[in-house]
Structure 1
Amino acid sequence: MNGTAIGQVRRFQRTVTQRIGALDDAFMGRDRPLGQARLLWELSAEGSEIRALRARLELDSGYMSRLLRSLEADGLVVVDGGGPDGRVRRARLTPAGLAERELLDRRSDEAAASLLAPLSEGQRERLVVAMSEVERLLAASMIEIDVLNPRHPSARHCLQAFVAELTSRFDGGFDPARSLPAREEDLRLPAGMMLVATLRAEPVGCVALRLCPGVGQIKRMWVDPAVRGLGLGRRLLAEVEARAAAHGLRKVHLETNRLLTEAITLYRASGYEEVAPFNDEPYAHHWFEKRLTD
C-alpha cells in the first residue's frame, strides 16, 4: 500500500472529524455526542430492529446498548420487544425524539451552509462534487463479499433480483425453468458456492460458481443498480476467479445474453475470450472462457 496515500487518508480523516464537530461532546450544540445524534437519524416513529440497526451501522452490541440507554434516559427513544416470542427488540423515536431529530436536521443544514459560505461559487461546486465522489468510493470500500448458503435471505434476495432484472430486460422475459438449472445443492460446497456482496448489511450483488472437473462455471452474476459504477462487478468476478483457482481449476466458463451489454464489456475487459458454445443455454448468445493458469 502506498505510504503517501495512507498519509493523505489520515489527514483527510482528521480534517473532516474536526470540521463536522465529531470531537465535540455537545454535537450541534445539543447535550449529546455525535454517536447518539447519528442513532437518532437512523430511527423513526415506526422503529427499527436493533439487530438490523447494529449491523447497518457496524456497531458492537455493547456500544449500541449504551447509546440506546442514554437516549431512553432522555425520553427520546423507546425499546421494546416484538415478534411472536418477544425476542426481536425494536427501538423507535418518541414524540420528543422526533422533535429532537427535526432540530438536529435544522442545525445540520445550518452547519453545512456555514461550511460552504466562505467559498466561492466555483469552490462550492468543486467541494460538493468531490464529496459525492468520496462518498461513492467510501461506499465501495465498505462492500464485503462472503460465501453464503443459497438459502440465506441475502442470497435469495439477490437471486430473485437477478431473475426479475432478466425478466424485464430480455425479449419475451426470462423463465428460470427454461434456463439451465442452478440448483441450491449445486451452489454449496463441495459442488459449488454462492458469493454475496453486502453494503451496510444489505445485499447488493452476487455471483455463483459451480465446481466442475477442471473448469469453474460462473452463474447468476448480478449487481444492484444502486451500486453500479463502484467496480463491484469486477470485484465479484475477481473473487470468484480466485475461489475457482484455489480449488485447483484451470479455467472458468460463463455464458450471457446479447442484451446484457455491460456484462459483455466487463467480461472482455477482464480477459475473457469468446469461444464456441459449450452448453445449450437457451438464453445465451455469447460463451466466454478465461484461463486461470498457464
Structure 2
Amino acid sequence: MVRFIEMAPDAPVAHGLLTEYFAARAEVFPGGGYRPTYPDPSVFVAPDGVFLVIEDEGAAAGARRPVGCGGIRRIPDGPAGVRYEVKHLYLDPSTRGRGWGRLLLDELERRARTWGAAQLVLDTHHTLEAAGGLYASAGFEPIAPYNDNPNATRWYGKALG
C-alpha cells in the first residue's frame, strides 16, 4: 500500500530522494557526463505543478518509508494547448516491479488533467529501459525534442484529450 504526499522538492525527504536518483544516474551514465539539476521548487506549486513523494505504508511496525518521487510542471503551451512536463520520476530499486511507478505516473497525469492539460511530455535517456517501457505502456509516444536537456536522448508525449 502506498500514499502520495505533496512536498516541495527542496524539503529534506524529497531532496534526499532526488540525491539518490541523481547518484544512481551518474553512476551508470555513459561517458560519466551526467549533469544533475535540482528543480526549482517554485515551478511545483499548484496549479502550475506539483511534486509528490510516494510512501510505502506497508513498512514494518507501521512505519512509513519514503520510496520515490516525481512531479509535473507547466511548460509553454504546445500545438495542442496546455502542456505539463513529467520530472524526476524515481523509485527506490527495492520497490521496483510492484507497479508503484505506474501509480505515481497515473497520479501525476490525473492532476495534470485536473488543471486542463492537453498533453504530458517528458524526456529521458535511452539507457533507462524500464522507464521507457513504463512510458510506452502508459500511452506515451516518441516526439521531437522540446528542450535541450543534455541528459536526454529520447522525448515522449501523451495527448490527454
Instruction: Judge same fold: TM > 0.5, yes or no.
Output: yes
Match of 2:101 in 1: 233
Match of 2:48 in 1: 191
1:147 and 2:6 correspond:
yes
Q: CA deviation at 1:152?
A: 2.3
Q: Structure 1: 5+ residue runs without aligned partners?
A: 1-141
Q: What secondary structure sits across from 2:113 in the alignment?
A: helix
Match of 2:135 in 1: 267
State the number of aligned residues.
Answer: 149
Give the Cα–Cα distance (whole angstroms) in 2 for the partners of residues 198 and 266 of structure 1. Answer: 20
Q: Contact 2:35–2:151 at 8 Å: present in 1 too?
A: no
Give the Cα–Cα distance (whole angstroms) in 2 for the partners of residues 166 and 157 of structure 1. Answer: 14
Partner of residue 35 from structure 2, selected from 134, 155, 175: 175
Match of 1:216 in 2: 84
* Backbone CA RMSD of aligned residues: 1.5
Q: CA deviation at 1:163?
A: 0.7
**1 or 2 for the larger relative contact order (CA 8 Å, sep ≥6)?**
2
Distance 1:211 1:226, change over 3 A: same
Q: CA deviation at 1:190?
A: 4.2
Amino acid at match of 2:149: E
Between Structure 1 and Structure 2, the one with more strand by share is: 2
Give the Cα–Cα distance (whole angstroms) in 2 for the partners of residues 146 and 247 of structure 1. Answer: 18
Between Structure 1 and Structure 2, the one with more helix by share is: 1
Match of 2:60 in 1: none
Q: What secondary structure sits across from 1:226 in the alignment?
A: helix
Q: What secondary structure sits across from 2:90 in the alignment?
A: strand
Aligned pairs for 1:20-35 (under 5 A) are none
Match of 1:166 in 2: 25
Q: CA deviation at 1:173?
A: 4.4
Give the Cα–Cα distance (whole angstroms) in 2 for the partners of residues 192 and 281 of structure 1. Answer: 19
Partner of residue 205 from structure 1, selected from 64, 68, 85: 68
Match of 1:243 in 2: 111
Partner of residue 15 from structure 2, selected from 139, 142, 156: 156
Give the Cα–Cα distance (whole angstroms) in 1 for the partners of residues 138 and 34 of structure 2. Answer: 26
TM-score (norm 2): 0.86
Partner of residue 288 from structure 1, selected from 132, 152, 156: 156
Which is higher, the Rg of structure 1 or of structure 2? Answer: 1
TM-score (norm 1): 0.49
Q: What secondary structure sits across from 1:194 in the alignment?
A: strand
Give the Cα–Cα distance (whole angstroms) in 1 for the partners of residues 50 and 19 of structure 2. Answer: 17
Give the Cα–Cα distance (whole angstroms) in 1 for the partners of residues 133 and 83 of structure 2. Answer: 22
Give the Cα–Cα distance (whole angstroms) in 2 for the partners of residues 206 and 227 of structure 1. Answer: 12
Q: CA deviation at 1:174?
A: 1.9
Give the Cα–Cα distance (whole angstroms) in 2 for the partners of residues 226 and 143 of structure 1. Answer: 14
Q: CA deviation at 1:211?
A: 1.9
Q: Contact 2:10–2:41 at 8 Å: present in 1 too?
A: yes
Give the Cα–Cα distance (whole angstroms) in 1 for the partners of residues 142 and 44 of structure 2. Answer: 25
Q: What secondary structure sits across from 1:186 in the alignment?
A: helix
Give the Cα–Cα distance (whole angstroms) in 1 for the partners of residues 137 and 34 of structure 2. Answer: 26
CA displacement 1:145-195 (0-9 Å, x = unmatched) = 121122322211211111111111211142225xxx731211233432101
What is the identity percentage for the equivalent residue pairs of Structure 1 and Structure 2? 34
CA displacement 1:238-269 (0-9 Å, x = unmatched) = 00000000001111000100110000011111
Q: What secondary structure sits across from 2:72 in the alignment?
A: strand
Amino acid at match of 1:191: D
Give the Cα–Cα distance (whole angstroms) in 2 for the partners of residues 276 and 258 of structure 1. Answer: 15
Q: CA deviation at 1:217?
A: 0.6
